[in-house]
Structure 1
Amino acid sequence: MKNKNLFMLLISMVIIGLLPVAVSASSWTSFQGNNDNNGVTSENITTTFATNWTSTTAAGDYAGLDAGVVIDDNNVAYCVNYNGTVYAFNLTTGAQNWVNTNIANDNPYSYEISVPVYNNDRLYVGLSNGNYGNTNIGSTIYALNATTGNVVWYNSSDTYFPSNYQIDSPIKYDSGKLYFGSVGFDENYSTIGGYFYCVDASNGNVIWRNDSSTRGYYGASPAIIGDYVVVGDDAGKVRSFNKATGSLVSSLDASSYGSIRSGIVYKNGYIYFTAKPGYLLKASISPSGILSNLQASNSFGSDVYSTSTPAVTNNYIYVGTDNGNYSNPTGTVKCFDTNLNLEDESSNLGGLVKASPVITTNTSGQERVYVTTNNASAKCYYLNFIDGSLGSSGSWQPSNSTYTLQGIAFANGYLVYGNDAGYLYGATGF
C-alpha cells in the first residue's frame, strides 16, 4: 500500500510539472506604486519605447490628465481627467475598456489631481468638484466597479466633505480603508486649511477625520507604515496618526523649510520627503509611530524648488527639481546619498520636473531613473546612475507631447503616463 501511494504521488508530481505555470502579474495600484511611495521596481523598464500606443481623453482649457495613472493586475490602466471623467484602457493595446462621464462636471477650468487607488475590482476616486445625477455635489469620494466603471457608492456629505475644500491628495488603500487629504484655498489661491480622512472602503462612511492642519494637504500623499499613516501638509508639519483610530501619535515641525507637497516615502525605519522651497528631508520613525531626528539637505539653490516625491533605493535618493518659471523652464534630477549629501545632478532637462521619479534596479549595477517634464515640448527621460554618478541618458517624445505634470506608472513591461492635452501614452521595448 505504501509503495502504491508513493507511486501515485510521483505520477501526480509529474502531471503537475507538465501543467502551464501562471506568471504572476505586476501592478501599480496607487501613487508611486505602493503604500511606501518609493517608486522603485525590480522589473526592467524600456529604453527603446519601440512598441507604443497613444489614446485620447477629453481636455479642458488648460488641463487634461494631471492625476497619475494606476494599473491593476489584469493589464488595465485607469486615469482621471481634468473634469473628473474616469477612463479604463487596455495596458498593452491602449484600447478603451470603458469611460464614466456621469461623475464629471462641465467646468472647462476644472483641475483634478488626486491619484486614484485600485483594489480588488474597485477603483476609488476623489474629486474636487463631483457631479452625480447631474447635480453638482462638491468634493466627493467614489467607488467604481473597475470592470464596468459603474458607481458602487459615493460620499459627498457636506458635513464631512465641505464644498469649499478640494480632494487634491493621492488616495491610499489599506486593510479595507482609504486614506487621503483635502485642502482649501482663499481668493488668492493660498492654502487655508484641510482635513485628513480615513474612509470605509466598503461603503464610503467616514471612520475618522482630523482637522488639525492649518493649510491642508495639497498633492501630499500619505504613507502607510505598520499601524500608522504618516502625511505632510502645506504648513510644513508631518503627522503620524494611528490608522485605526485617527489619534495623533507624533508630529514633526518642518515649517522652517517650507510647504510639503511631496508624498512621504518610507524606507528602513526612515521617512523622506521634499519641501517646496528646495530641500530634501529625512526623519526617523519608530515601530510605535514616533517621529524624531529631523534632518535636511543643503538648500537646492536660489529659485530651485521641488514638489517631487523622492524615490529611495538602498543607497540613494532621487528627486526632481524646477525653477518655477514656465517662460524659461529648467528642471533637473538630483541624486543624494542616504545622509542627504548631494552625489550628482543631471543637466537641465528643458522643462520643470514636477514628476516623482520612478526607478528600475534591474539594470546590472545601474539605477535607471524615469521622469517627465512639464513644458510645451515635454519628454519622458531616463537617466542611468552608477554608484550615484550620472552616466548615459535618453528620452522619448511621442506625438502631441506637451506639459506633463505626472510621472510614469509601470507594470508588466509597460510604462504609462498622460499629459495636459489629454493624451495617454503607453510604451514597452519587450
Structure 2
Amino acid sequence: MKNRNLFLLLISMVIIGLLPMAASASSWPSFQGNNNNNGVTDEDITTTFATNWTSQTAAGDYAGLDSGAVIDDNNVTYCVNYNGTVYAFNLITGAQKWVNTNIANNDPYSYEVSVPAYNNDRLYVGLSNGNYGNTNIGSTIYALNATTGAVVWYNSSDTYFPSNYQIDSPIKYDSGKLYFSSVEFDANYNTIGGYFYCVDASNGNVVWRNDSSTRGYYGAAPAIIDDYVVVGDDAGIVRSFNKATGSLVSYLDASAYGSIRSGIVYKDGYIYFTAKPGYLLKASISSSGILSNLQSSSSFGSGVYSTSTPAVTDDYIYVGTDNGDYYNPIGTVKCFGTDLSLISESSNLGGLIKASPVVTTNTAGQERVYVTTNNNTGKCYWLTFNTTSERFTNSGYWQPNGSTYTLQGIAFANGYLVYGNDAGYLYGATGF
C-alpha cells in the first residue's frame, strides 16, 4: 500500500510539473517598492521599452505628476497629480480605471509630492491641500477604495494636521498602521517645523504624533525595521521610534552633513541615506532599535547635491546627484561600496537627478540602474554596472512624446515600469 501511494504521488507531481505555471505577481505598493526603501528587484526590467503606453492626467502651470506612482498586486497603478486628483490605470494597457477629483483642490499652483501607499484594496493618500465636499480642508490623510476610488475615510483634524503644515513625504503601511510626516515652511520657504505620525489605517485616527523635529520632514521616507520606524529630518537628525508607542528609542545627529531629504534605506543591520549637500551616510541599527556608528562618504564635490534615496544591493550602493543648475544641468549616478568608498560614476546624463534609483539584479555579472532626469527633455535612463570591472559600461534611454521635467523615479512590477512627469503624462513600458 505504501508503494502504491508513493507511485500515485510521483505521478501527480509529474502531471503538475507539466501544467503551465501562472506568472508570479509582483507589486510596488509604496515609495521604492517596500518598507526598507531599497529600490531593488530581481525581476528583469526592459532596456527596449518595446511595448509602451502614455496616459494623460491634468497638469498645472508648473507641475503635473510629481508624486511617484505605486502598483498593486492586480496590475493597477495609481498616481496623484499636482492638485490632489487621484488616478488608477491598468498597468498593462494604460487604460484609466477611475479618477477621483472630489478630494482635489482647484489651485493651479498646488504641488502635491507625497507618494501614496497601497494595501489590501486601500490606497492611502496624503495631501497638503485637501478638499472634501468642495471645502478646502488643508493638510489631510485619506483612505480610498482602490477598486472604485471612493473615499473610505479621511482625517483633516486641525489639532493633528494644522493647515499650514504640508504632507510632502511618502506614506508607509505596516501591520494596520500608516507612517508619514509633515513639514512647515516660513515665508521664504525655509523649513521650520513638522510632525511624524502613526495613523490607524482602518479609520484614520492618530495613534501617536511626534513633534520633536525643529525643521520637519521634507521628502524623507521612513523605513520600517522590525518594531521600529526610522526617519531623517531637515535638521539632519535621524530618529528611531517604537512604531507601536511612538516613544523615541534612539537618535543620531548627522546635522554636520546637512538636511536629510532622502528616505532611510535598511539592509542587513545598517541604514543608509544621503544628505542634501552631497554625502552618503551609513549607521548601524541594533535589534532593539539603537542607532550608532555614523559613517560618511567623502563629499560628492563642490556644488554637487543629492536628495536621492540610495538603492542598496548586496555589494553596491547607487545614488543620483545634481548640480542644482536648471540652466546648465549636470546629473550623474555614483556607485559606492558598502564601506562608502566611491567605486565608479556615470557620465553626465544631461539633467538633474532628483529621482531615487531603481536597480535590477536579474542578470549575472551586472546590475542595471534606472533613473529619470529633471530637465526639459526628461528621459528615463538605464545604466549597466559591470560587477567584474566595477564600471558603468553601457547605457540607454527612453524619451517618449511629451517628455519633460521628471522629479520622481520609476515604479516597477510584473515586467512594467511606470513614471510620470510635469506635463501630467504617465508612461508605462515593458520589453515584452
Please indicate the TM-score interval, normalised by the length of the shorter structure.
over 0.9
C-alpha spacing 1:59/1:8, structure 2 compared with 1 (3 Å): same
Gaps of 5+ in 2: none
Q: For residues 158 and 59 of structure 1, what CA distance do their matches in structure 2 show?
A: 28
Match of 2:177 in 1: 177
What are the Cα deviations for residues 40-73 of structure 1, in whole angstroms up to 9, with x where unaligned? 0000000011111100000000000000000001
1:401 aligns with 2:403: yes
Match of 2:353 in 1: 353
1:16 Cα shift? 5.0
Secondary structure, aligned partner of 2:129: strand
1:3 Cα shift? 7.5
Where do residues 187-336 of structure 1 align in structure 2 (5 Å cutoff)? Answer: 187-336=187-336
Q: Which deviates more from structure 2 when the two are superposed, residues 236-245 or residues 11-20? A: 11-20
Q: For residues 15 and 321 of structure 1, what CA distance do their matches in structure 2 show?
A: 53
Stretches of 4+ aligned residues off by more than 4 angstroms: 1-20
Q: For residues 239 and 118 of structure 1, what CA distance do their matches in structure 2 show?
A: 25
Secondary structure, aligned partner of 1:79: strand
C-alpha spacing 1:390/1:15, structure 2 compared with 1 (3 Å): closer
Gaps of 5+ in 1: none
1:78 aligns with 2:82: no
Q: Which deviates more from structure 2 when the two are superposed, residues 6-15 or residues 216-225? A: 6-15
C-alpha spacing 1:361/1:107, structure 2 compared with 1 (3 Å): same
| TM-score, length basis structure 2 | 0.97
Q: For residues 167 and 314 of structure 2, what CA distance do their matches in structure 1 show?
A: 33
Query: How big is the alpha-carbon RMSD for the aligned residues of Structure 1 and Structure 2?
Result: 1.4
Q: For residues 418 and 319 of structure 1, what CA distance do their matches in structure 2 show?
A: 20
Secondary structure, aligned partner of 1:180: strand
1:386 Cα shift? 1.2
- Counting aligned pairs with the same residue, the percent is 86
Q: For residues 363 and 21 of structure 1, what CA distance do their matches in structure 2 show?
A: 22
1:364 Cα shift? 2.2
Where do residues 42-61 of structure 1 align in structure 2 (5 Å cutoff)? Answer: 42-61=42-61
Match of 1:410 in 2: 412
1:279 Cα shift? 0.4
Q: For residues 221 and 2 of structure 1, what CA distance do their matches in structure 2 show?
A: 57
1:88 aligns with 2:88: yes
| TM-score, length basis structure 1 | 0.98
C-alpha spacing 1:10/1:385, structure 2 compared with 1 (3 Å): closer
Q: For residues 79 and 129 of structure 2, what CA distance do their matches in structure 1 show?
A: 16
Where do residues 2-151 of structure 1 align in structure 2 (5 Å cutoff)? Answer: 20-151=20-151
What are the Cα deviations for residues 151-201 of structure 1, in whole angstroms up to 9, with x where unaligned? 011001111100000001100000000000000000000001000000000
Secondary structure, aligned partner of 1:62: coil
Secondary structure, aligned partner of 2:352: coil
Aligned residues: 430
What are the Cα deviations for residues 196-225 of structure 1, in whole angstroms up to 9, with x where unaligned? 000000000000000000010100000000
Q: For residues 279 and 136 of structure 2, what CA distance do their matches in structure 1 show?
A: 39
Q: For residues 344 and 17 of structure 1, what CA distance do their matches in structure 2 show?
A: 44
C-alpha spacing 1:16/1:389, structure 2 compared with 1 (3 Å): closer
Q: For residues 357 and 222 of structure 2, what CA distance do their matches in structure 1 show?
A: 17
